[in-house]
Amino acid sequence: MNEVIEQAREIITGYKGREIRIMEVCGTHTHEIFRLGIRQLLPESIKLISGPGCPVCVTPVGYIDEAVMLSLERGCTICTFGDLIRVPGSEKSLAQARSEGADINMIYSPDDAVEMAKNFPDKQVVFLAVGFETTTPSACLAVKKAKKLGLENFSILTANKTMPNAYERLKHSADAFLYPGHVNAITGNAVCRKLCDEGVSGVVSGFTAAELMSALAVTIRMLEKGEPFFVNCYPRVVTEEGNIAAQKLMKEVMEECDTEWRGLGLIERSGQRLRKEYSDFDARIKYSLPEIKGHSNAACRCGEVLQGKCRPDECKLFGKVCTPLHPVGACMVSDEGACSAYYQYDR
């Protein structure tokens, strides 16, 4: 074990103060915390809450229904990140649509979708654009490229989200946020500093064992002091101003909108949609999609899980009807979802 980990481990396991609640906002953090077994080291008085930072987990049911409709009823070729394929919609997932003949393709970059549209002019390609500030710039690039190439058979179905107003919504759910390193690498630290001025504490963390352990140790030490704080524990990647080129790109192609988060409901100005200049690439406009209100399983408690109000294993469906292979709620689908992590690592 390296020295940094060892020191952090001592601080974490030796904590004897009042009960504290730390919310890790990023799905990758959730996954790594479980994979490394960090929760097992925590004393009773430190609670980690898995927040809403897994894009798959907060994507509403209605969005899946829109994608299924595009594929099965409008004959579109869907390109998507893999996790989304198994998320249940009101009636079916994209995986089920695919086995009924829908053309669903798993890709790793939005650019793959543009290439597909270019190479197969007969296909109407739709990229499912989900994700936070980390993935939105690549979707913007794809749209710009498609426009430059004059592609008329490429569009995106946006469900892109931004974190600032989600932090506002969740700021009373924990004593401190473990901010997502990759998001801050794009946005910079201004939002976190503003929250700190309002009394909301947090630490931005990287993703290795040493980075996560030391970020938690710093959080604990700072909470003991009692003053609101913000610390950048991921300085090798996160700068104060962030990635200005990516910020500009997002502003150029997208604009703010209100958006629904699965489990959290509507959060004002927390979504991104294409600007008017790019509306030819907006799948909702292009295929005149009706407004779809999705229906999720009423017993599913993903929403409460995302706010730290309920542990995954307190949900009636957990591990019985809802498993990673047959997920009911979105938090069970992605490896980064809290329910999936509980199921895979904590039983």
Partner 1 sequence: MNNTVTLAMGSGGVQTSELIDNIFKKNFSNPLLTSDDAAVIDFEGGRIAMTTDGFIVSPYEFAGGNIGKLSICGAVNDLACMGAEPLYLTCSFVIEEGFPLEKLEIIAGSMAETAKKAGVVIVAGDTKVAGKGQVDGVFITTTGVGRIADGISTSGAFARPGDKIIVTGDIGRHGCTILLSRESFGIDADVTSDCAPLWKNVKACLDAAKDIHVIRDATRGGVGTVLYEIASQSNVGIMLDSSKIPVADGVKGTCSLLGLEPLYLACEGRLVISAPADEADKIVEVLRAMPDSENAAVIGEVTDSDPGKVIMLTAIGAKTLLARPGGELLPRIC
The least CB distance from residue 103 to partner 1, in Å, is 13
> What single DSSP character describes residue 76?
P
* Helix-then-strand count for the chain, H and E: 15, 11
Helix (H, G, I), strand (E, B) or coil at 46: strand
The answer for residues whose C-beta is within 8 angstroms of residue 204's C-beta and 6 or more apart is 178, 179, 180, 181, 184, 189, 192, 215, 230, 231, 232, 233, 234, 238
Question: What are all long-range contacts of 235-241, with beta carbons under 8 Å and residues at least 24 apart?
Answer: 236/206, 237/181, 237/182, 237/185, 237/206, 238/181, 238/184, 238/185, 238/188, 238/189, 238/204, 239/185, 239/188, 240/188, 240/189, 240/190, 241/188
d(CA 175, CA 24): 11
Which H/E stretch holds residue 204?
strand 201-205
The answer for residues whose C-beta is within 8 angstroms of residue 98's C-beta and 6 or more apart is 71, 85, 104
The least CB distance from residue 275 to partner 1, in Å, is 27
Q: How far is CA 255 from the centre of its chain?
A: 19
Q: Scanning the structure block, which residue is given the tokens 């925590």?
A: 42
The least CB distance from residue 197 to partner 1, in Å, is 33
- C-beta closer to partner 1: residue 121 or 265: 121
- C-beta closer to partner 1: residue 35 or 293: 35
d(CA 8, CA 14): 10
- C-beta closer to partner 1: residue 173 or 208: 208
The least CB distance from residue 180 to partner 1, in Å, is 14
- C-beta closer to partner 1: residue 36 or 285: 36
- C-beta closer to partner 1: residue 191 or 332: 332
The least CB distance from residue 248 to partner 1, in Å, is 22
The least CB distance from residue 330 to partner 1, in Å, is 14
The least CB distance from residue 316 to partner 1, in Å, is 21
- C-beta closer to partner 1: residue 41 or 196: 41
Residues that bind partner 1 (CB under 8 A): 1, 5, 9, 28, 31, 34-38, 40-41, 82, 85-86, 95-96, 98-100, 106, 108-109, 111-112, 115, 209, 213, 323-325, 335, 344-347
The least CB distance from residue 281 to partner 1, in Å, is 20
Is the distance from CB of 111 to CB of 229 less than 8 angstroms?
Answer: no
- C-beta closer to partner 1: residue 289 or 338: 338
Partners of 282 in beta bridges: 156
- C-beta closer to partner 1: residue 208 or 239: 208
